[in-house]
Amino acid sequence: VMRRNPFGMDICCRKGSRSPLQELYNPTQVSLSNTAILHQIRRDQVTDTCRANSMSSRKRRVLTPNDLKHLVVDEDHEMIYCYVPKVACTNWKRVMMVLTGRGKYSDPMEIPANEAHVSSNLKTLNQYSISEINHRLKNYMKFLFVREPFERLVSAYRNKFTQKYNTSFHKRYGTKIVRRQRKNATQEALRKGDDVKFEEFVAYLIDPHTQREEPFNEHWQTVYSLCHPCHIHYDLIGKYETLEEDSNYVLQLAGVGNYLKFPTYAKSTRTTDEMTTEFFQNISSLHQTQLYEVYKLDFLMFNYSVPSYLKLE
């Protein structure tokens, strides 16, 4: 098995080699050092945004275990990955299963998507004691992947509200959105919640009642609230727009770049900028402005400019 699976050896015997954190901050390869500069710029952007918005971004000073449930831990390679839904998180979870599986998996794409989302398949930081959490936050390389906030939002809407198979979302959120946002809704729409319009979804997100009632679902929650970048210092911020390069850079730092490449496949259904523009055509400028306020920290923190299609008030 050791010989057949290149991971067997690499994964079990990392000790003695440099950790991803050391390789990131003191690269031994020239090819890695150029990329390191780019990631330094991204880190600085997050730090500056947190500082500039310290009132709103540091409301809660102490993180609870519940805040850490999106942080996946890879003990063997000393890495922590904060997953953000709709930012290639299925493929990243698959890769993490290969990295932490001790040779059980070798090809990420052979892992079924639904299996990648079974929580017991990956260990998250909230399962450790306080001292173990602190040790890992200090010594492991922490990374996350981000995406243009409104493109991610449209992607979440399309996936959760326009696909017939997502009945649990229609029941849990769709019915609530229809009840609250649609005048003269039919009994069937109230019962099924499977025909939510994007305008209704936006109205639901900016409704102060929604914010008070329960936290946003993780598929449209802000990255800032899912991964807590003002409290946790991320060493590496990958972007959906440069997914392949950034992902393979992480794998290179982990010392597995020769065996493992990030899975790439062109999805024809992928949400694009043009598509996002179209979805926002029917949103009033008042609602656009209110929605931008909800996601503003994500835009600023990860250096996404205000979309040209927005008509902000």
Does residue 101 sit in the same domain as residue 122?
yes
Domain count, the chain: 2
Does residue 177 sit in the same domain as residue 135?
no
- In this prediction, residue 60 has a pLDDT band, given cuts at 50, 70 and 90, of low
| pLDDT above 70: residue 2 | no
Does residue 73 sit in the same domain as residue 167?
no
Mean local confidence (pLDDT), 277-301: 97
Does residue 138 sit in the same domain as residue 50?
yes
pLDDT tens digit string along 231-277?
Answer: 999 999 999 999 999 999 999 999 999 989 999 876 777 888 999 99
Does residue 156 sit in the same domain as residue 287?
yes
Does residue 141 sit in the same domain as residue 241?
yes
Per-residue pLDDT, 270: 85
| pLDDT above 70: residue 57 | no
Q: Is residue 213 part of a domain?
A: yes
Mean local confidence (pLDDT), 166-181: 95
Please state, rounded to an integer, the average pLDDT across all residues of the chain: 90
Does residue 184 sit in the same domain as residue 239?
no
Does residue 236 sit in the same domain as residue 113?
yes
Does residue 164 sit in the same domain as residue 25?
no
Q: Is residue 28 part of a domain?
A: yes
Q: Is residue 159 part of a domain?
A: yes
Per-residue pLDDT, 12: 43
Does residue 137 sit in the same domain as residue 188?
no
Per-residue pLDDT, 7: 42
The span from the CA of 221 to the CA of 56, in Å, is 16
Does residue 130 sit in the same domain as residue 163?
no
Q: Which of 231, 85, 47 is nearest to 169 (CA)?
A: 85
The span from the CA of 24 to the CA of 251, in Å, is 11
pLDDT tens digit string along 94-151?
Answer: 999 999 998 899 999 999 999 999 999 999 999 999 999 999 999 999 999 999 999 9
| pLDDT above 80: residue 65 | yes
- Residue 231's domain comprises 20-149+221-254
| pLDDT above 80: residue 10 | no
